[in-house]
Amino acid sequence: MPLLDVQDLRVDLPVEAGTLHAVRGIDLSVERGEMLCLVGESGCGKSMTSLALMGLLPRRAQLSAGRLDFAGESLTALSERRRGQLRGRRMAMIFQEPMTALNPAYTLGNQLCEAFLRHRLGNRRQARERAIELLERVGISAAAERLAQYPHQLSGGLRQRVMIAMALMCDPDLIIADEPTTALDVTIQAQILRLLRDLQQEMGTAVIFITHDLGVVARIADRVAVMYAGEVIETAPTQALYANPSHPYTRGLLSCIPAPGKTPPGSRLQAIPGVVPSLVGEVEGCAYRNRCPLVREGEVDAARCERTPELRRLTGDHQARCHYAEHRAATRVAQPEMSP
Amino acid sequence: MNALSSAGALADLAGAGPDTDTDIDTMPALELCALSKRFTLGGGLFKRGRALQAVSEVSLAIPRGQVMGLVGESGCGKSTLAKMLLGLTTPSAGEVRVDGRPLGDAGQKALARHIQPIFQDPYSSLNPRKRVAAIVELPLRVHGIGTPRERARRVAETLDLVGLPKRAAEQFPGQLSGGQRQRVAIARALIMRPDIVICDEPTSALDVSVQAQILNLLLDLKQEFGLTYLFISHDLAVVEHLVDRVAVMYLGRIVEEGSREQIFAAPRHPYTQALLASALTPEPGLGVPDIGLGDVMPDPSNPPSGCAFHPRCPKAQALCRETRPALVTDTAGATRVACHFASA
């Protein structure tokens, strides 16, 4: 049984013009100790998905799900009180901006120990000991003295390390990390990612890592789910996804980034023309068809794309939401990428 | 084409094509000579503030029509450098030359005819209360160029040039997507027909699919108008794709400068090597490299002795703590590196 089992998760937000369908029926499952990367561009619903899983959606948002099970317990059936007991204890979150996620008015020690004490996992001395142990584990020197410091006294990289230590305080089963390294310099990012990956494997914590960076995904993920317009459009183990991207959007994303050794410097990059469809009101058919090269170049029967494709299994645990995931153009585009 | 004549700024969009002159101009389009900037922090009426040396003796020459990439971590002084080039802050020492002429006394307005910026965040760099046409027209009005009718024609041409639809002219920035807004910012920069464009992280606020469109546009415009770019970015894949030369900054100084091929194939400074190692290309199975730098950026107001990089450097020795290495040009004159133990 997976640790997290989500089926047909939907999040609707009332807006002036009607209803914004931010998440439009996604299926996700996360095994214990697994690193799942949720990747997509802004507005694809990846952050709303994470907030829905944590039970932190804005009050006006409406959530519905065919199934939303965490460790065998249905989250939708839980009272707010029971949900609060899970949050921070068994599911923890790491946010993008360590400056805004940490309270500037409290010491690090105070913030580190808060959840531990709130969930009654021990007394103050034990909380302090655990905080020091974890700060050392995330590579912060003079951990005991750091507990008396305030967030502004730390650099961005150190703050993000504190956030990771904080997420681990109660030894959760699942950590949701929402773009945790996007605000950091590349040198710091590499170190934080390495740390997160090491800790995750060492402690057997499952992680849902949300990012827009396909470079990061390639290096840390066990499995990837690509999101577009509120849906998961492709999901596969990392190697399989990069070796054989089957949804035209995934292929588009991969060819947008200049790849050293593959993209000649100064050459034109492949861009994805057009924009993401508005998610206000109902979206009919394949959400990507207006930007899809297969449709544009008349490679496929566009009428079929007017019908909403299902997320269907291609091979093993490789799934894609495209009527033409096996189309020959797919292999033609993918091949030069794979050849050395 | 004489870059300092105001006629250049007035030239017709269609007429002012690329520099097709056959004589190869060896004069760099933009030259920074020992440029320094010092800020004073926390000083009061009776209290002396601490000095922060944001930029130290940066010398850089960008040949006409080329792209110079400027990379480094946050706080290394690359944005301060950009501000000095744009005349938004005055250098404490050194000077900027355009086509060999110092810009120091030319004044802000003259400078703006030659150097224009494209900033990172198209959400905050455009006035939300002005229509796109007015935003793009503003530089022309400030400089008193053309009649209203001529200006309107130029605005329309420039919007077309950057790939915006006609209707965009009457829209407000809030009605546009991030990529479209960045096109507006590019149109605003280009309407003055500058020779040099300072691109400060122009795509880092954009999604990757949109980033590709904007990078293509910047490359096309460079080709078409013979523009010279200073391209500031933390994204090394983008830098490698776009630039001809790369300068690497650390704590206010250039630590290495060379051609794209040299920097990416055979970086000589340990900091450049670490920076390149930390770039995560989309290749599964490689994992995250251990670059062993530590994550404590030194305090610019209290820089380390000797080589500023020594506390994080895997190669550091006693000499590095005592003596700051000079930026030395190699025998071929192709690269510069500031390290006592630079790789060959």
Using CA atoms, how far apart are residues B276 and B291, in angstroms rounded to an integer? 10
**Mean pLDDT, to the nearest integer, of B53-62?**
94
Q: Choose the mutation target among B182, B235, B280, B290 for the interface with A, i.e. most A CBs under 10 Å.
A: B280
Smallest CA-to-CA distance from A325 within A225, A237, A249, A221 is with A249
Using CA atoms, how far apart are residues B233 and B255, in angstroms rounded to an integer? 16
Query: What is the model's pLDDT at position B18?
Result: 43
Residue of A nearest to B273 (CA): A187
Quote the distance between the C-alpha of residue B259 and its chain's center.
Answer: 16
Query: What is the model's pLDDT at position A333?
Result: 46
Nearest Cα of chain B lies from the Cα of A128 at a distance, in angstroms, of: 24
Query: What is the model's pLDDT at position A234?
Result: 97
Instruction: Using CB atoms, pick whichever of B278, B286, B287 lies closest to residue A187.
Output: B278
For A:280-319, CB contacts with B below 8 A are none
Q: CB neighbours of A84 closer than 8 A, spacing ≥ 6?
A: none
Token couple for B5: 């004549």
> pLDDT tens across B85-101, in order?
988 888 999 999 988 88
For chain A, strand residue ranges (E) read 4-15, 18-30, 35-39, 62-64, 67-70, 73-74, 91-94, 174-178, 206-211, 223-228, 231-237, 312-315, 318-320
Between B295 and A43, the more confident residue is A43
Mean pLDDT of chain B: 86
Q: Choose the mutation target among B218, B295, B296, B313 for the interface with A, i.e. most A CBs under 10 Å.
A: B295
Residue of B nearest to A263 (CA): B241
| Cα dihedral A152, A156, A162, A166 in deg (nearest 10) | 100
Among B9-23, B37-51, B301-315, which is the least confidently predicted range? B9-23
Q: With CB atoms and an 8 Å threshold, state whether A155 touches B295.
A: yes
Query: What is the model's pLDDT at position B112?
Result: 84
- Residue A148, amino acid: A
Q: Is the pLDDT of residue B1 over 50?
A: no
B207 interfaces chain A, CB cutoff of 8 Å = yes
Nearest Cα of chain A lies from the Cα of B285 at a distance, in angstroms, of: 6
Instruction: Using CB atoms, pick whichever of B207, B234, B289 lies closest to residue A212.
Output: B207
For A:176-195, CB contacts with B below 8 A are 185-194
Instruction: Using CB atoms, pick whichever of A187, A189, A242 lies closest to residue B284.
Output: A242
Token couple for A91: 């599911």
Q: Choose the mutation target among A39, A185, A217 for the interface with B, i.e. most B CBs under 10 Å.
A: A185
Q: Is the pLDDT of residue B194 over 90?
A: yes
Q: What's the 3-state SS for chain B?
A: CCCCCHHHHHCCCCCCCCCCCCCCCCCEEEEEEEEEEEEEECCCCCCCCEEEEEEEEEEEEEECCCEEEEECCCCCCHHHHHHHHCCCCCCCEEEEEECCEECCCCHHHHHHHHEEEECCCCCCCCCCCCCHHHHHHHHHHHCCCCCHHHHHHHHHHHHHHCCCCHHHHHCCHHHCCHHHHHHHHHHHHHCCCCCEEEEECCCCCCCHHHHHHHHHHHHHHHHHHCCEEEEECCCHHHHHHHCCEEEEEECCEEEEEEEHHHHHHCCCCHHHHHHHHCCCCCCCCCCCCCCCCCCCCCCCCCCCCCCCCHHHCCCCCHHHHHCCCCCEECCCCCCEECCCCCCC
Nearest Cα of chain A lies from the Cα of B149 at a distance, in angstroms, of: 32
Query: What is the model's pLDDT at position B295?
Result: 59
Contact (Cβ atoms closer than 8 angstroms) between residue B268 and residue B335: yes
- Residue A25, amino acid: G
For A:60-119, CB contacts with B below 8 A are none
Using CA atoms, how far apart are residues B120 and B60, in angstroms rounded to an integer? 22
Residues of chain A with C-beta less than 8 angstroms from the C-beta of B283: 218-219, 242
Using CA atoms, how far apart are residues A225 and A53, in angstroms rounded to an integer? 15
Where does residue B9 rank: exposed (0-12), middle (13-18), buried (19+ CB within 10 A)?
buried
- Give the domain ranges of chain B: 267-344
A269 interfaces chain B, CB cutoff of 8 Å = yes
Using CA atoms, how far apart are residues A267 and A275, in angstroms rounded to an integer? 23
Contact (Cβ atoms closer than 8 angstroms) between residue A9 and residue A23: yes
> pLDDT tens across B176-189, in order?
888 899 999 999 99
Using CA atoms, how far apart are residues B12 and A2, in angstroms rounded to an integer? 65
Using CA atoms, how far apart are residues A139 and A146, in angstroms rounded to an integer? 12
Q: With CB atoms and an 8 Å threshold, state whether A258 touches B238.
A: yes
Q: Is the pLDDT of residue B49 over 80?
A: no
Position B10 confidence tier, pLDDT thresholds 50, 70, 90: very low
**Mean pLDDT, to the nearest integer, of B18-39?**
74
Using CA atoms, how far apart are residues B36 and B72, in angstroms rounded to an integer? 17
Quote the distance between the C-alpha of residue A177 and its chain's center.
Answer: 7
Task: Tell me how far CA of residue B334 lies from CA of A266, B3, B28, B259, B328, in angstroms.
Answer: 21, 27, 15, 7, 11
Query: What is the model's pLDDT at position A329?
Result: 55
Spell out, as residue ranges, where chain A has pLDDT lower than 50. Answer: 330-340
Residues of chain B with C-beta less than 8 angstroms from the C-beta of A190: 277-278, 280, 288-289, 291
B156 interfaces chain A, CB cutoff of 8 Å = no
Token couple for A52: 């829905």
Between B123 and B216, the more confident residue is B216
B26 interfaces chain A, CB cutoff of 8 Å = no
Q: Is the pLDDT of residue B207 over 70?
A: yes
Residues of chain A with C-beta less than 8 angstroms from the C-beta of B242: 265-266
Between A100 and B324, the more confident residue is B324
Residues of chain B with C-beta less than 8 angstroms from the C-beta of A156: 74
Token couple for A183: 């605000």
Q: Choose the mutation target among A188, A228, A247 for the interface with B, i.e. most B CBs under 10 Å.
A: A188
Instruction: Using CB atoms, pick whichever of A155, A259, A268 lies closest to residue B282.
Output: A259
B263 interfaces chain A, CB cutoff of 8 Å = no
B66 interfaces chain A, CB cutoff of 8 Å = no
Position B12 confidence tier, pLDDT thresholds 50, 70, 90: very low
